[in-house]
Amino acid sequence: MKKSAWLLLLVASLGYFVDTFDLILFVVIGKSSLAEMGYSGQGLDNMRLFLFDIQMVGLLIGGVVFGILGDKKGRLSVLFGSIILYSVCNIINGFINDIYSYSILRFLAGVGLAGELGVGVTIVAETMPQKIRGYGTSILAATGVLGAVVAGLVGDIFYWRTAFFVGGGLGILLLLLRIGTYESEMFIHASKSKMERGNILKLLRNPKSRKTYFLSLLVGIPVFFVVTILMQMAPTLADELNIVGEVTTGKAVVYIYLGLAMGDVLCGVVSQKLKSRKKAIGLFQVLSLLISLVYLNLHNQSSEVFYVVCFIMGISTGYWIVMITMGAEQFGTNIRATVATTIPNFVRGAAIPISMLYGFLGSLAEFTIIQAALMTGLLCFAIAIYANYALPETFHKDLDYLE
């Protein structure tokens, strides 16, 4: 690989680092920031969930907008534009004192974050040789997921306003790496063609493309079941399981995302060794299901055992980047950024119906919250395993073509 290709890989990887840092930072510091604004009890929990959901809405909208722009205007301009928006919003977020400003900034930060991961995967897939691009996206994943680990540590150590400044500052520093980067040659080739670029409606109108697109989305649902329910609700679930010792969201984040970082690398390596994206994803889906079942049956265990299972569960769920890579490889250069950017953000948006289903089942008198989590998880895994089975293999696919 050329030095410039390595620089692109570094920029894309650090972009994902910033992405996961912000998403998890709010999970960790949301409670303390809202408590300072006067919220407590159920009102605090409701507002925390509202702000999380509003950021997810921003991700959904930003995923579409930045994905289309990535195909129309270029990969790098979108990557750095999204970083600027996210960074400015986080810095301002450190100064606010009212919930209205908080809501607007979380929404705009979500819009900004939406452009980083998908465009980063697109750049790596288009600039690295076919035989090793799985390794490239694994490096991107490992670097990015470590952002969540750092967020868990920063959120626990620093005052919440300072934590937002740290997040914004990391984004600004990343912009300095723009020097020396270059646009994807595949995009430059596609931009010279008369073929329309970034038309998501054209993608959805084609029955075959629409089916492939939606199946690619469904493959990743279990990842956000683990993140939304098993990780974010870890203290509540631990109480129900009668775990001995303190369990905090911050520590659960660190252990699960450390596992995810290792899992993303491992899944990428497995896909290279098996020469198959589908087989690697399917293997990790089954392992993730089994470990999730173990997690939900840890009655009367110690907090140390609980965190070890969290770590292993993170590893088994680490097929996230391989999933996005496979989605990007399913489509031509003129629509690839749109697909690669919308898929992860729509999957993230699945956190909303997942949490709603869990909340509904948990509110029924005949189910405990453990049973609610179990039923929600089984449904998520069943859908995802079928979707992966139904998708075509992409490992050997040449990506230099137009739809």
Q: pLDDT of 300-318, one tens digit each?
A: 999 999 999 999 999 999 8
Closest CA to 345 of 318, 320, 317: 320
Tell me the CATH architecture of domain 3-178+201-390.
Up-down Bundle (1.20)
pLDDT tens figures, 14-46:
888 888 888 788 878 888 899 999 888 778 877
187 pLDDT higher than 80:
no
> Which long-range CB contacts under 8 A does 34-42 form with residues at least 24 apart?
34/99, 36/160, 37/97, 37/98, 37/99, 37/102
The H or E element containing residue 130 is none
CA quadruple 223, 226, 231, 236: dihedral, nearest 10: 160
Q: In the structure, what pLDDT confidence band is assigned to residue 1 with cuts at 50, 70 and 90?
A: low
pLDDT tens for each residue of 50-75? 888 888 888 888 888 888 888 888 88
Q: Which of 302, 309, 114, 150 is nearest to 231 (CA)?
A: 309
Q: Which residue type is seen at 143?
A: T
Question: Residue ranges of the domains in the chain?
Answer: 3-178+201-390
pLDDT band at 77 (very low <50, low <70, confident <90, very high): confident
